[in-house]
Chains A and B, each alone.
Chain A
Amino acid sequence: MNRSGSFWTVAGAACAIMLVVLWAFPLLWALSTSLRPELETVSSQFHWLPQAWTLEAYRKTLGAGNVVRWLFNSFVVALLVTVVTMAISLMAAYAFSQLRFRGRGIVFGVAMLGFLLPFEALLVPLFRTMHQLGLVNSYAGIVLPQVVAPVVIYVFKQFFDAIPADFREAAVMDGAGPLRVLWSVYLPISGNIVWAMAIVTFIAAWNNFLWPFIIVTSNDMMTIPLGLTQTYDAFGVRYAQLMAAALLGALPVALAYVLFQRRVTQGFLAASGLKG
């Protein structure tokens, strides 16, 4: 490598490290804050690290309020949203990609119109519908409006379009119906992209604040992002507990991402066509 190439490599690495520090700083600061006594968090003296290390904020967070219940709710909601979204999107994408039926293009176009509608614009009609169905303060009420995901359908359709039709036809000759072809052939072939979309959907559902904020009024049905606002209200400005609750809320999602990181990356690479 020549001198100029070496300079740019070092400069690139330095930029990357700077970006990592910028990205990680709020997280590390939240962690540092959550490990301080409440009094130290409002101290006028600045310290990078806690002067007195304590897990008191975590103990109080888990003991007070309803954090465990909110974590459970978030898990149930994110899991249901993920499973139902995957099921609906996979079937829709398979139909749009592989089945020939009258009006296919129009139906697909209508499905993709969802891209153009901001969720906020649908809040009122969705709330009215859920209210009329008696689904306010229920898992179904939180989950159902979140399971329509045009972007997931689009990604799956693009992926299915790239799978040679011979696989479907061979399966049809073998006696498989559309659902069996999807389940036994297309799904395993698309494993990585399905995992990637599932993780992304799970994270989005876990972090969703707006819809649960509208549809949930009962403390017991709150999800963790919603519950965090209650923690704030209950304890005033208690930064250590707030940071502890935020980190506890983000932990399962971070763990899920770390566990499935490889599949997510492979999935996106496969979907982008960089790697088959």
Chain B
Amino acid sequence: MASVRLRGIRKTYGDNPVIKGIDLDIEDGRFVVFVGPSGCGKSTLLRMIAGLEDITDGTLELGGIVSNTVEPSRRGIAMVFQSYALYPHMTVAENMGFALKLAKVPRPEIAQRVRHAAEILQIAHLLDRKPKALSGGQRQRVAIGRAIVRKPEVFLFDEPLSNLDAALRAQTRVELARLHKELKATMIYVTHDQVEAMTLGEEIVVFNAGRIEQAGTPLELYERPANLFVAGFLGSPRMNAFPATLAGHAGGLAAVRVPGGGLVQVAADASLAGSGAALTLGVRSEHLRLDAGLDAGGIPGRLALVEYLGDVTLAYVQVEGVDGMVAAKCPPDVPLPSPGSVVRLRFDPARAWLFDAQGAALPALRDAVRLTG
């Protein structure tokens, strides 16, 4: 297996920069997920690693060897395409063995490796079929099988689950995780689905507009987002953002004025921001509590809509000064006020984030709050 090292990677199409300087180290055997909105450059970067796109500037090292100009087939990389790209005129076995045939591997060895990969993926009974006779899930397995038989050092996945239905996606996610454990290969996986990113990745790299916003473990990114973009991108519903003004700070807590005029406390280091600084308060929907708006405190709003999802109830609240609705996840067994009622949104100061005017997160001081609190 091999590590992947990117240094100052750039890509421009004409005068249009698409990748604007990427530095990234992917350790040998890691499962790394590139995630970001459409057009952020994650797939382009994957294709540059694969050798399907030229690298305008920077250095790509695979297994310690500079590979910028190495032929795609000689990089020790296999790629699973979003469309699967199974050759329609070949059987499953021929599809899986095509790369080995081109590499002039003896036929018995091709047959043995194809069968082995097919058994891992439980598609041995499909080897004589043509792709058109397969379901979406089966095609997806064949595409993975085609990658496995090559015994690559790095697997690249370009949104391989996006054509599957929700149930099959969930099942295949589990199988991919199992496959990674079994093969112990370096895997780079591109998706715009944050659930896939959170569940599959040992490490997540969040892209935006050709740059890396943040890289880290799923929990790190969820718990300590570096900026408002990452905070909003990971988590469903997305993190709620309230306009806020810094009123003061003391003892590891920042006091901010929120819509409705109330003061709330957040466990964040706001010492570098001046009093009166415009900030954004971020609170995830699962950390918001909702109660009837009789008492003071919290953020006042009007309950607009309630969605009962079975395991959880989503309450959508209109808050003055906030674009869109604020979402709060509530336990399903707790009765909620009727839509139209005035409610107050409350949260634990250790479960909220503050972002400066540029969107950068202020250092969280949750541990300090927990120790003192």
Contacts and interface: CB of A to CB of B under 8 A. Distances in A.
Contact of A173 (B78, B82, B88, B103): B78
B73 A185 contact: no
B98 A174 contact: yes
B89 A172 contact: no
A174 B89 contact: no
A176 B102 contact: yes
Contact of A189 (B77, B81, B82, B89): B89
B97 to A, nearest CB: 10
A220 to B, nearest CB: 43
A173 B50 contact: yes
A104 to B, nearest CB: 15
A174 B83 contact: no
Interface in B69-103: 72-73, 77-79, 81-83, 85, 87-89, 98-99, 102-103
Nearest to B83: A166
Interface string B278-306: 00000000000000000000000000000
A180 B102 CA distance: 9
A175 B83 contact: no
Q: Tell me whether chain A's interface is mostly helix, strand or loop, or mixed.
A: helix
Given A169-B52, A180-B102, A174 B73 contact: yes
Contact of B73 (A166, A173, A184, A188): A173
Category for how many chain A residues contact B? 10 to 19
Nearest to A172: B72
B89 A169 contact: no
Contacts of A185: 87
Nearest to A188: B89
A167 interface: yes
B79 A173 contact: yes
Contacts of B72: 172-173
Given A169-B52, A172-B73, A164 B83 contact: yes
Contacts of B83: 164, 166
Interface in A151-177: 164, 166-167, 169-176
Nearest to B86: A170
A169 B85 contact: yes
Contacts of B79: 169-170, 173
B102 to A, nearest CB: 4
Nearest to A191: B89
Category for how many chain B residues contact A? 20 to 34
A175 B103 contact: yes
Contacts of A191: 89
A174 B79 CA distance: 9
Nearest to A170: B85
A180 B85 CA distance: 16
B77 A173 contact: yes
Interface string A175-205: 1100010001100110100000000000000
A191 to B, nearest CB: 8
Contacts of A167: 85, 87
B187 to A, nearest CB: 15
A173 B84 CA distance: 13
A175 B85 contact: no
Contacts of B81: 166, 169-170
Contacts of A166: 81-83, 85
B52 A174 contact: no
Contacts of B87: 167, 170-171, 184-185, 188-189
Nearest to B104: A175
A134 to B, nearest CB: 42
A180 to B, nearest CB: 7
Nearest to B89: A188
Nearest to B50: A173
Contact of B85 (A164, A184, A188): A164
Interface in B204-225: none
Most buried by A among B85, B88, B89: B85
Contacts of B85: 164, 166-167, 169-170
Interface string A244-270: 000000000000000000000000000
Contact of A175 (B88, B89, B102): B102
A2 to B, nearest CB: 40
A175 B102 CA distance: 6
B154 to A, nearest CB: 12
Contacts of A175: 73, 99, 102-103
Contacts of B82: 166
A216 B99 CA distance: 49
Contacts of A169: 52, 79, 81, 85
A147 B73 CA distance: 35
B52 A172 contact: yes
A235 to B, nearest CB: 52
Contacts of B103: 175
B99 A174 contact: yes
A236 to B, nearest CB: 55
Contacts of B89: 188-189, 191
For the complex of A and B, the 8 pairs showing the least CB-CB separation, nearest first, are A175-B73, A174-B99, A166-B85, A170-B85, A188-B89, A175-B102, A166-B81, A166-B83
30 contacts: A164-B83, A166-B82, A166-B85, A167-B85, A167-B87, A169-B81, A169-B85, A170-B79, A170-B81, A170-B146, A173-B51, A173-B52, A173-B73, A173-B77, A173-B78, A173-B79, A174-B73, A174-B98, A174-B102, A174-B146, A175-B73, A175-B99, A175-B102, A175-B103, A176-B73, A176-B102, A180-B102, A184-B87, A188-B89, A189-B88
Given A166-B85, A175-B102, A175-B103, 16 more contacts: A164-B85, A169-B79, A169-B81, A170-B79, A170-B81, A170-B146, A173-B50, A173-B72, A173-B77, A173-B78, A173-B79, A173-B99, A174-B99, A185-B87, A189-B87, A189-B88
